[in-house]
Structure 1
């Protein structure tokens, strides 16, 4: 599967005239626009990952006002056909990423293997006392200092997951600085000699995204996230990381390998 194409689709004068919705047919203009864009996708003029022209350009192409155009785009978004990413534009939605859950689960490797460009950014980092859940997962005393790192990971600029990761603070000192500079948890752990971590346990649940998750993942209200709680350990199976990743449910397909 090809990566996303930031070059907007172009249309000739003939195509623009052909694409203009017809008035007086009894079919709402916005519905005709939806059908036209769906046809462009079906016939390959718009491919997965391709960026649509701006609202102004589309409104001009179809000869409608922006209110009518926005209703058409809203419908396409609700149907899962296109997806708007703040700061980048509206794109034809790509197929979900096949995301294997195995002994070595690495976001960057998985996304690269799907032919898409992985990215990430640090949202926040802080030292906090281990909660009961974190303490049990990392086999630490309740309340011991742990380093928490929150990140957003994306594929071709589209946010895929927001993850919270906890580590024993003394063992992983300055890990957050390494994550901030590399954009990768794996590379940061490698710098500390902990790069060959392995999955010890995975639990998957689902729920409606909360407000922060909707903002970080660019999700409309009511969308579902897959919540993956995981424990990763070193060669001696000593837990070094407890993570809680929230994936945009319609952007990934979890694959469990036996």
Structure 2
């Protein structure tokens, strides 16, 4: 049987055999799967291009593409238009309960949480925000655009809305660094709890897809959250986008 050895610098996995009774694309699929399962291709890492894999296995790119499509269907890899193919990350269990804090949720998944404030702006309350916060439409709000990461990978893109009249120093508190929870504590809100969460799904906008580092044709889960203080007064209306391939929502009661 003819044997196709991988290139010297390629991950070492099973070689493919012609005339073995197993299609070439299936053997390529099994070889790449072995690299992933064996830890030679780590979670989140970029895989070789179709051209590189075709050279490695001595086949045409259509054969490689068929193998990659099957690996994506099985959830072992994710293919991003214009960026390449990546080993699929372990899905994060994002637990939503009465007290949901991003850093705590990510840490419970044995990941390193981090956040990045993208912008802080003063805006007029939209219909949705006004209804959620029980304010008149057009009232002034702080809108905090934030990206949440786990091990440096984006897992949440959020727009947080807070009543400006209640938290006049929020922008300054956030500018000093730290988490949203600490900034709110500095503004007099010691604790808050989740009142409602509404979940839908859609395709991301170009801006959202760019921040989440995912293709526009891959769905995101959209959570509209309302948080309240100890007197059940709404203090935050938040819209959070989670990439469906990296996060699954778990509701705890």
Task: Place the TM-score, normalised by the shorter chain, in its bin.
Answer: 0.7 to 0.9
Residues 223-242 of structure 1: pairs in structure 2 closer than 5 A: 223-242=218-237
- Cα offset, 1:166, TM superposition: 0.5
2:202 — aligned with what?
A: 207
Partner Cα distance (2:72, 2:175) in 1: 33
SS class of match (1:182): coil
| Residue from 43, 47, 50 that aligns with 1:49 | 43
Count of aligned pairs between the two proteins: 246
**1:169-216 Cα distance to aligned partner (Å, 9 max, x none):** 132234245445536322222222324111111111122222222211
Larger Rg, first or second structure (1 or 2): 2
Partner Cα distance (2:176, 2:64) in 1: 39
After TM superposition, the score normalised by the length of structure 1 is 0.76
| Residue from 89, 95, 118 that aligns with 2:90 | 95
Backbone CA RMSD of aligned residues: 3.7
Partner Cα distance (2:20, 2:172) in 1: 61
With over 3 angstroms needed to count, the CA separation of the structure-2 counterparts of 1:48 and 1:182, relative to structure 1, is farther
Runs (5+) with no aligned partner, structure 1: 1-10
Partner Cα distance (2:101, 2:154) in 1: 16
- Asked if residue 250 in structure 1 is aligned to residue 245 in structure 2, the reply is yes
Partner Cα distance (2:195, 2:17) in 1: 59
| Residue from 149, 153, 159 that aligns with 1:158 | 153
SS class of match (2:155): strand
Partner Cα distance (2:115, 2:224) in 1: 19
**1:200-240 Cα distance to aligned partner (Å, 9 max, x none):** 11111122222222211122232111111111111111111
With over 3 angstroms needed to count, the CA separation of the structure-2 counterparts of 1:63 and 1:136, relative to structure 1, is same
Runs (5+) with no aligned partner, structure 2: 1-5
Residues 21-170 of structure 1: pairs in structure 2 closer than 5 A: 21-22=16-17, 32-42=27-37, 44-46=38-40, 49=43, 51=45, 62=56, 71=65, 75=69, 76-77=71-72, 79-83=74-78, 91-170=86-165
Does the CA contact (< 8 Å) of 2:11 and 2:35 recur in 1? no
SS class of match (1:62): helix
Does the CA contact (< 8 Å) of 2:209 and 2:215 recur in 1? yes
Partner Cα distance (2:241, 2:59) in 1: 37
SS class of match (1:171): coil
Partner Cα distance (2:102, 2:207) in 1: 21
Does the CA contact (< 8 Å) of 1:20 and 1:62 recur in 2? no
Does the CA contact (< 8 Å) of 1:217 and 1:248 recur in 2? yes
With over 3 angstroms needed to count, the CA separation of the structure-2 counterparts of 1:70 and 1:134, relative to structure 1, is farther
2:3 — aligned with what?
A: none
Partner Cα distance (2:13, 2:199) in 1: 48
- Cα offset, 1:97, TM superposition: 1.3
- Asked if residue 185 in structure 1 is aligned to residue 180 in structure 2, the reply is yes
Partner Cα distance (1:51, 1:62) in 2: 18
